[in-house]
Chain A
């Protein structure tokens, strides 16, 4: 009998708020963090979901006194990481059997600009160690860097390593920030949308890049005082083996990831109450997802993409969206897939169009990304 693994606490830092409740309230009101921002000199502004730096600094200084932050100095992204983790670390003790898992795609990549040699801060393991040292983690940090599925995989990694007896519990944090590096890259792919993105819609024309950090606490031994708990029932991350940047036309990898995760969870399709999908709002990604969900027989399950609210937060998106979907379950409310108007995939999906009350017990969370990677996890509200 394998140990049961629970998520019992979470937090996030996004343009819609610096904790889960402010995010939830903004989502209920249909607010989006996406707006026009000038990111690259001499270029037109891009639609992106960006945290106000002044607000971030104010919040950081409010929570971290000068004694803690005068000596080292933290990058913008590091401040976001620290703010998202702090409330969890205060509530749950770190032991020498506690894992520290960090999910990111590009970390402090902004530090690379105009450099002739690599600054220490751009190494992802240095970034993770810096955050770990700040809070006094005792085990070696593990960085998951698997493109846009990293955040979902980070939850799976914590589950699997605790089940294998390597750790008792884990703090999982995920984050990426908006940078000229990433914006110029996606722009070179002509993948950036011309407005707030429209996942699954007929008129979708590309992604918005977003930024956020998110953190969860995962344990095999929840204590009696936890306000909530979600069991991590199953996971899988299967490659399409098709193309390094183009989504699969068959949805093979996503289909297999969902199938494996549900097999491990030992639940049937009709038990799933809600799908928190990836939905980047590119033509080919959303079409691929629709095919995979239909192949699984999941086309009637209520589904949303959070990209219209937060943009695509890369390494943070999977964890952030998992948190919002758990909050959705706790609040018994399904949140609409923002900006969806008209079906834009060749196969139908049950896309949520307005806030609606719902009993949510089983959640399926999926993600897909460059390199042909896909990931799925199944969560159960306890």
Chain B
């Protein structure tokens, strides 16, 4: 009971202002459907969403699927506001294994050996955080964790200490899980 009470007090101190989820070819922001398509394939879904939402950021097309997922969800929340004091704290289960697998295929065969730097750079999960930082010029605290399952408490605890230390005024937290056609993003903004 004591623990529960303490948790509740803590949650009151930190406020969750916006929430974006992406799954099943649907983007939902604060309970409103922002974009939906019958297209099941992730790459096509992402491309359609990009067009429909008029994101107008050609770098998007060079990103790997994990970065596209994280980018789309973050875009919904960050918009064109000032985020020079917003930290980024992201996590997932499959790290960059989606791109790792593709990169590995390019070096499996000695006869067909074509490692590409444009693919290799995405074999790190924190690259998606870098992409969001670049888009919004966020020279702020950022971190990427790999956990066996979504653990909102952990992300919130980590975000809370960033906010309390004064290293940021807001934290964009995100669970961005993607491997092949299985994906889910849950991204939200926290303030004190």
| B-binding residues in A (CB < 8 A) | 41-42, 105-107, 109, 112-115, 118, 122-126, 129, 140, 142-147, 153, 157, 160-161, 163-164, 166, 180-181, 184-189, 236-245, 252-253, 256, 260, 264, 370-373
Contact = CB atoms under 8 A, between A and B. Distances in A.
Most chain A CB neighbours (cut-off 10 Å) among B103, B115, B124:
B124
Contact of A373 (B93, B110, B138, B142): B142
A347 B143 CA distance: 30
Given A145-B126, A181-B103, A189-B117, A239 B142 contact: yes
A373 B141 contact: no
Contacts of A145: 95, 124-126, 144-146
Given A188-B116, A370-B127, 8 more contacts: A107-B95, A122-B97, A145-B126, A146-B144, A147-B124, A160-B161, A164-B164, A373-B130
B129 A185 contact: no
B186 to A, nearest CB: 17
Contact of B120 (A123, A185, A256, A372): A185
A242 B134 contact: yes
A124 to B, nearest CB: 4
Contacts of A256: 139
B137 A241 contact: yes
Contacts of B154: 142
B140 A238 contact: yes
**Range of interface residues on chain B?**
35 or more
Contact of B161 (A41, A106, A161, A189): A161
B146 A371 contact: no
Contacts, number: 157
B93 to A, nearest CB: 6
Contact of B147 (A140, A153, A184): A140
Interface of chain B: mostly helix, strand, loop or mixed: mixed
Given A125-B93, A241-B134, A252 B147 contact: no
A46 to B, nearest CB: 13
A118 B101 contact: yes
A101 to B, nearest CB: 10
A124 B95 contact: yes
B126 A147 contact: yes
Chain A to chain B: the 7 pairs with minimum beta-carbon distance, closest first: A371-B130, A185-B120, A125-B148, A143-B146, A239-B133, A241-B133, A188-B115
B18 interface: no
Contacts of A371: 124, 126-127, 129-130
A41 B109 CA distance: 10
Given A256-B139, A260-B167, A244 B121 contact: yes
Contacts of B179: 118
B100 A166 contact: no
Interface string B101-128: 1011001101001011100110111110
Contacts of A237: 141-143
Contacts of A186: 120
Given A123-B93, A238-B140, A239-B130, A112 B101 contact: yes
Contacts of A122: 97, 100
B94 interface: yes
Contacts of A180: 107
Contacts of A370: 121, 124, 126-127, 130
